[in-house]
Amino acid sequence: MNKRYIGAAMIAPALVFFLIGGVILKYFVLVLALCGLYEFYNACKKSQLKPISIIGYIITLVYFVTLGESFNFEMVSYMLVLGTFITMFVPVFNTEYNFIDVATTMFGILYVTIFFSLLLLINMLEYGQYLIWLVFISSWGCDTLAYYTGRSLGKHKLVPKVSPKKTVEGAIGGLFGSVLGCVIYGYVIKKFGVNISLYNYAIIGILGGIVGQLGDFVASSIKRHAKIKDYSNLIPGHGGILDRFDSILFVSVVVYYYITIFMGM
């Protein structure tokens, strides 16, 4: 059987956790974050960096265990400041590490741990059990139409030094796919009592389509620098956790902040 089909069969059941929500989802996302952080730190090590991995894992674990039903900026700022404060002493007592390694350690927490936690926090919002799927629909809709549009119409390279196969035409198609998917989904869930104007779904689709593709480029840039094709081979035919969640992590940021700031939920 094709490895991609095997990988897809592994991924599909995991989505059930987002339907269940609650504490079960919380610890499932924690596992995803720890796996993603492990992959990120491994990629950094292949770039001759030495993140202080154990500190990253401990901070991630503490953060998720103490995470409440809303995004507490004060708690996050305390965590990042205290984590940086403690980590900065490591190179003093262990010269194997330097302050670039400290920065790499903390960047991993921001990029992987905090971004993953936004999936959980979206699920905790009003209508969250419905709105969480906007992250996946925007990302998947964008990826699908970008692939087929780029394959059939793609002529102009978008960022060839980072991702040689991506085209301008594919990016435009991906943006359309994100908007279309979000608007259709918004129309469907309106019948289930989710009273949100359709234009909000269009805006989320636009933002998700743009930022999701940029997130894809960020992941490609990191892997290119580390000289690796995939973050890991955890999921057959699909790479690692960060390979599957590269755009989703970035889309989760715009979805969460659009819903909480501009929609006031």
Amino acid code (one letter) for 26:
K
| Of 2, 32, 220, nearest in space to 112 by CA | 32
Q: Which of 57-61, 77-81, 114-118, 131-135 has the lowest mean pLDDT?
A: 77-81
The pLDDT of residue 9 is above 70: no
- Alpha carbon separation from 71 to 120, 129, 133 (Å, rounded): 10, 17, 19
**10 pLDDT above the threshold of 80:** no
CA–centroid distance for 160 within its chain: 23
The predicted pLDDT at position 76 comes to: 79
On whether the CB atoms of residues 251 and 135 are closer than 8 A, the answer is yes
Assess whether pLDDT exceeds 50 at residue 123.
yes
Predicted confidence (pLDDT) per residue in 20-69, tens digit: 888 999 999 999 999 999 999 999 999 999 999 999 999 999 999 888 76
Q: Is the pLDDT of residue 2 over 90?
A: no
* Residue 160 predicted with pLDDT over 90: no
Instruction: Please say if the pLDDT value at position 177 is more than 60.
Output: yes
Which pLDDT value is given to residue 5?
A: 59
The per-residue pLDDT for 1 is 47
Q: Which residues pair with 239 in a beta bridge?
A: 235
Give the model's pLDDT for residue 71: 59
pLDDT given for residue 72 in this prediction:
66
The pLDDT value recorded for residue 75 is 76
What's the predicted TM-score (pTM) here?
0.92
- Mean of per-residue pLDDT scores for the chain: 92
pLDDT in tens, 190-244: 999 999 999 999 999 999 999 999 999 999 999 999 999 999 988 877 789 999 9
Three-state SS string across 121-148, please? HHHHCCCHHHHHHHHHHHHHHHHHHHHH
Torsion of CA 132, 262, 173, 36, to 10 degrees: -40
